[in-house]
Amino acid sequence: MRPVRKSDSSPPPLQEFADTDVMDITGQVNRGVFDEAAVGSGGTVETDFGDGTLQTIVLDGDVGDWVTTGRPDATGTPETRECRVLVDPDGVERDLAFSVSWKWYSGAPMTIGASDYGVLTLIAVGSSESDVWAKWEGT
């Protein structure tokens, strides 16, 4: 067996830009969807993975349950889906509850403070609610 020899070709040179040049990155940035919703006291929040990679919610009451829709399924949706939800408590401390089926790779919060904000990251690796992984980051 002969050893495989790496190519001696060097990478292409970097393109230099003058201060006045503009680089077109159209189509290279995932802007996501900003889907602002509200929930009444003790209501259920439903995050749809099909609504985009970045969503916002302004809570107008405590959250009784948080569930997802638009997870991958056998009809050809991608193998995994991910979204981040920016959570605004609207100036009032709120109680939070999440699907008991989710798997957390950080602790699930019980409340969000009146002046705090949170980011809930959700990753669906299958078609059921128990295939959702969650992470909370808050101020």
Q: Is residue 126 part of a domain?
A: yes
* 20 assigned to some structural domain: no
Phi, psi of 50 (to 5 degrees): -75, -10
Cα gap 104→25, rounded to integer Å: 35
Pairing of strands 103-104, 37-39: unpaired
pLDDT of residue 75: 66
Q: What is the pTM of this model?
A: 0.70
Flag the least confident range among 41-45, 49-53, 108-112, 120-124. 41-45
Domains in the chain, number = 1
Q: What percent of the chain has pLDDT over 90?
A: 38
Q: What pLDDT does 52 receive?
A: 81
In a domain, 111, yes or no: yes
**In terms of residue numbers, what domain contains 100?**
37-138
Residue 8 has pLDDT above 60, yes or no: no
* pLDDT for the residue numbered 129: 94
Q: Does some domain include residue 99? A: yes
More confident position, 24 or 91: 91
Tell me the CA distances in angstroms from 102 to 1, 15, 106, 117, 139, one per residue in order. 51, 46, 11, 21, 22
Rg over alpha carbons for the chain, rounded to the nearest Å, is 21
Confidence grade of residue 43 (pLDDT, cut at 50, 70, 90): confident
| 54 vs 52, residue with greater confidence | 54
